[in-house]
């Protein structure tokens, strides 16, 4: 009986001892620190650290599946950062929208390499081996750097960072209205529209006040003088334009007159040439008629005594009639002369 009673007591004592040991060991294990991450979070306040030394940055979002797949590879790469003599950082675009705008991040995850303030975009798979070779083999030297206005340290990208930060704050405010307070989304949109209009009107009023403060109006007499001077200048310009137009008209008229005079002179010259040609033709015709008459007179025999005078006279009369030019021939000649004159006149016109 005694042995049967001791068994349950021993088991109860052993259970109590195990519970006590577990209770004492639990706080000690909880007190042990978890493995510290070598990846340094970057914010808008400490991002200038990447301007010195060599860095690799990763832009991610907690909801991004591709970003979650590369988390372990990025941690492994950060653990070997001391061996590679490189610092490793990460940027949460949800918490730091200004930095995402400064680097103009449009896809996630996004990786950047920085060497003494010169930034380059890494477009590899993001695994440890590729990242290690990218640093050891200095593959980043073959990548075009982000210079000029594209550089994150430029004034342009600083303005872009401000715009992205404002948009992030508006997004957080919208979530506060719709999620925390339970306001409908359309009410939030109406609020932002009204706020935008009010802000625009306020900024316009501020600009008007600033312009009124810095703008010094001219005295009345000076303004009147300036107006008079402006009017006189306009009148003078109008007079100059009128004079120029009149001169153009006069020059055009003179040119027209000169052209008309030249045409008339050319017509007169052509008429004189035609008259000279007609005179020459008439002289030629007259000379031809005289030659024909002389030849006809020379054809008669000079010494025939047996022929009586009566017989000779009819023959001479017949020869005279034959020697005279026919009126039909003269009319043809006159018609040809008239036609030539008309043709020359047409050419002159």
Question: Which residues are known to be catalytic?
Answer: 64, 67
> Distance (Å, rounded) from C-alpha 318 to C-alpha 307?
16
The residue among 77, 71, 72 whose CA lies nearest residue 55 is 77
Interatomic CA distance for residues 54 and 87, integer angstroms: 6
DSSP 135-197: HHTTGGGGSPPB-GGGSTTSHHHHHHHHHHHHHHHHHHHHHIIIIIS---HHHHHHHHHHHHH
DSSP SS3 for 307: coil
User: Where do the DSSP E strands lie in 29-128?
Assistant: 40-41, 54-60, 87-92, 110-115, 118-122
Cis check: omega of the bond before 7, within 30 degrees of 0? no
CA distances from 159 to 10, 162, 329 (A): 76, 5, 109
Query: How many residues are present in the chain?
Result: 349
Burial of residue 198 (number of CB atoms within 10 Å: 0-12, 13-18, 19+):
exposed
């Amino acid at each position: 009986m005694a042995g049967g009673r001791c068994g349950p007591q021993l088991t109860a004592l052993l259970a109590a001892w195990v519970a006590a040991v577990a209770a004492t060991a639990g706080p000690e294990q909880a007190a042990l620190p978890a493995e510290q991450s070598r990846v340094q979070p970057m914010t808008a306040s400490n991002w200038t650290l990447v301007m010195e030394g060599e860095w690799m940055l990763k832009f991610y979002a907690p909801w991004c599946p591709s970003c979650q797949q590369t988390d372990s590879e990025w941690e492994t790469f950060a653990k070997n950062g001391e061996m590679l003599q490189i610092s490793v950082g990460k940027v949460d675009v949800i918490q730091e929208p200004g930095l995402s705008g400064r680097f103009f991040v449009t896809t996630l995850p996004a990786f950047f390499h920085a060497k003494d303030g010169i930034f380059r975009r890494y477009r590899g798979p993001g695994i440890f081996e590729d990242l290690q070779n990218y640093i050891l083999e200095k593959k980043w030297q073959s990548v075009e750097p982000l210079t000029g206005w594209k550089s994150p340290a430029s004034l342009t990208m600083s303005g872009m960072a401000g715009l992205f930060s404002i948009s992030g704050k508006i997004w957080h405010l919208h979530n506060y209205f719709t999620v925390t307070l339970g306001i409908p989304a359309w009410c939030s949109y109406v609020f932002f529209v009204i706020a935008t209009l009010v802000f625009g009107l306020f900024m316009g009023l501020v600009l008007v006040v600033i312009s009124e403060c810095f703008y010094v109006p001219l005295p009345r007499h000076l303004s009147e003088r300036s107006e008079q001077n402006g009017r006189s200048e306009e009148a003078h310009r109008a007079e100059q334009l009128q004079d120029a137009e009149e001169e153009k008209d006069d020059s055009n008229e003179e040119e027209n007159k000169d052209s008309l005079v030249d045409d008339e002179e050319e017509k007169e010259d052509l008429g004189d040439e035609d008259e000279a040609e007609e005179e020459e033709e008439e002289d030629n015709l007259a000379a031809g008629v005289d030659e024909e008459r002389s030849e006809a007179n020379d054809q008669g025999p000079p010494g025939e005594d047996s022929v009586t005078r009566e017989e000779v006279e009819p023959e001479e009369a017949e020869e005279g009639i034959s020697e005279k030019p026919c009126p039909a021939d003269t009319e043809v000649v006159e018609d040809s002369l008239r036609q030539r004159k008309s043709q020359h006149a047409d050419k002159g016109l």
